[in-house]
Amino acid sequence: MESAGTEGRRTLSESETNAPESGHSVNPGASTSAFAGETAPLLRRFRTDLHVHSVLSPCAELEMGAPEIIQRASREEITLLALTDHNAVANVPALMEAAEVERERLRVSGTDDGSIPRILCGVEVQTEEDIHLVALFRSAEDGFAFQEWLWEALPSRANDPDIFGYQLIIDGKNAVLDQVATLLVQGVSRSVEEVIAEIRHRGGLSFLAHVDRPGFSYVEVLGPVPEDLAVDAVELSRRLSAEEALAWRSRLGARTILRSSDAHRLEDLRREHCMELLLAEPTFDEVALALRNEAGRRVLWPWEETPP
Ligand SMILES: [Zn+2]
Ligand SMILES: [Zn+2]
């Protein structure tokens, strides 16, 4: 049984994209469905981090192994996590395996309380404009097919571990299976529009990463996000204060806004760096509904309170 969420049912009638919450409530007392004749699904809050790096990212610390990420996320009560290494999905199976091992360990000891995070397959793409864009896929298979497409457009420059760091492909127990020889932290020869279209074509979701940051941000490189840009959401970095986040929200219009850790070291993988999603279960399809603000699923405004 999942114990990740703490909320009860709510109505399905709200439609506004993740507006800042008043008191962070989701009408826990409400139980009626807006859809006549249908049973309202039980929607619960899932603490979610959709932007995390592992030892495959050269800029990530070597402590970002698979069991370590799982254990840290579990301690932080993060119950849904997307692994999003730079231009690669190759460590997603390791993370899924580590989560499965940990879940089984708890199950055998009779203490599986649903605290082990579900893993989504993701990748942080660097486009030819040096914009960072996160893609999420329904399965690791879909992610690997996308990685193949991406690597065809990855310049052949070799990684120098002394300069950039190691790019390790691991299994669920951190055994090193391989190293990626080509530097992963460089722009692929595909435009941001091409990458977004390809992700969509493959049934994936996409969001612009850390648009408020000076580096690798859509806004910094190309200016305001056009209304017709076909991304599903926009991420603001965890470094923003509540006021700054609200100011950005008004600049970004009706977009769904996300906050994730972008953790490159364990210390940054923390509950207060990510967000809560209102979902029926922690799956890709439910996340897709939440990002599109459909069927009552949604992303709760991540900044809870105004700092003093
Ligand atoms: Zn980035
Ligand atoms: Zn990142």
**Residue scoring higher pLDDT (198 or 19):** 198
Ligand 2 centre from 38 Cα, in Å? 40
Ligand 1 centre from 217 Cα, in Å? 8
- In which region does residue 253 sit, left (phi positive, over 0), alpha (psi from -120 to 50) or beta (all else)? left
Structure-token pair, residue 64: 């970002």
Ligand 2 centre from 41 Cα, in Å? 33
According to the model, what pLDDT value does residue 35 have? 52
According to the model, what pLDDT value does residue 20 have? 58
Ligand nearest the Cα of residue 262 is: 2
C-alpha dist (Å) from residue 96 to 75, 103, 221: 17, 10, 34
The CATH code of domain 44-299 reads 3.20.20.140
Strands of 205-208's sheet in order across: 257-258, 233-235, 205-208, 132-137, 118-126, 80-86, 44-52, 275-279, 298-299
Ligand 1 centre from 64 Cα, in Å? 16
Ligand 1 centre from 56 Cα, in Å? 14
Q: With contact defined as beta carbons under 8 Å apart, do 10 and 43 qualify? A: yes
Structure confidence by residue, pLDDT tens digits, 175-228: 999 999 999 999 999 999 999 999 999 999 999 999 999 999 999 999 999 999
Ligand nearest the Cα of residue 213 is: 1
Say which residue the tokens 């009638």 belong to.
13
**Residue scoring higher pLDDT (299 or 22):** 299
According to the model, what pLDDT value does residue 41 have? 84
**Residue scoring higher pLDDT (33 or 158):** 158
Ligand nearest the Cα of residue 51 is: 2
